[in-house]
A and B are shown apart, each in its own frame.
Chain A
Amino acid sequence: EVQLVESGGGLVQPGGSLRLSCAASGFSFSSYWMSWVRQAPGKGLEWVANIKHDGSDKIYVDSVMGRFTISRDNAKNSLFLQVNSLRAEDTAVYYCARVYSTYYYMDVWGKGTTVTVSS
């Protein structure tokens, strides 16, 4: 079964850091671009970052550039999002998703991990 499972969320103070993880199974992880998408409470979906299948290309939404870092370990079928200098507006459910690179759509999603930034 194709599956993505996120972990690593939690409660963190403003300015703090977390490392989100996404464990992939059931497919050839190293062949796919991967994404992180988030949803703040009461808001819509917001794309956060993409990483190429070999990690050689990374793209971010402007609001997280310089604070968030996407990475992957293909040997461990894992995707990561290092989130630093957290702000209240980063509070959200963070989803990882597999990207199918024809038309670049997200065809498999995890159930998400929740990050809450509060003092």
Chain B
Amino acid sequence: IQLTQSPSSLSTSVGDRVTITCRASQRISNYLNWYQHKPGKAPKLLIYGASSLHFGVPSRFSGSGSGTDFTLTISSLQPEDFATYYCQQSYSTWTFGQGTKVEVK
């Protein structure tokens, strides 16, 4: 199963609303997870099961979708949110999307 994220990168500012989409090449129900990754750090789980917020993750992060189309939204971008974001499916042999780099405008 291929996951295609869009955009591949985006330039944005603190306080902006950010939306990242992830499209699966076939239906995966809600077996879709989102991770944040910063250089030199361990990846962090944000959202599991398409829409469930992982413990300790700020409520400005939210996920939605089912089937083939999914969205990660950051309601008001904070300085610590500049990072690369990945979707990952666990419906069958696992795959990640190619990543979306969120950069400072």
Question: Which residues of A come within 8 Å of B, CB atoms?
Answer: 35, 37, 39, 44-47, 50, 59, 61, 95, 97, 100, 102-107, 109-112
The interface centre, meaning the residue of A37, A97, A100, A106 with most chain B CB atoms within 10 A of its CB, is A106
Question: Are A44 and B48 closer than 8 Å at their CB atoms?
Answer: no
Cβ-based interface call for B77 (8 A): no
Question: Are B93 and A61 closer than 8 Å at their CB atoms?
Answer: yes
Chain B's interface size range is 20 to 34
Question: Are B33 and A45 closer than 8 Å at their CB atoms?
Answer: no
**Assembly CA distance A46 to B95 (angstroms):** 7
Question: Restricting to B30-62, which residues have a CB under 8 Å from any CB of A?
Answer: 30-31, 33, 35, 37, 41-45, 48-49, 52, 54
Question: Are A44 and B97 closer than 8 Å at their CB atoms?
Answer: yes
Query: Could you list 23 examples of A-B contacts with CB < 8 Å?
Result: A44-B84, A45-B43, A45-B88, A45-B96, A45-B99, A47-B95, A47-B96, A61-B93, A95-B42, A95-B43, A97-B43, A102-B49, A103-B90, A104-B90, A104-B94, A105-B45, A106-B33, A106-B43, A106-B45, A107-B45, A107-B54, A109-B45, A112-B42
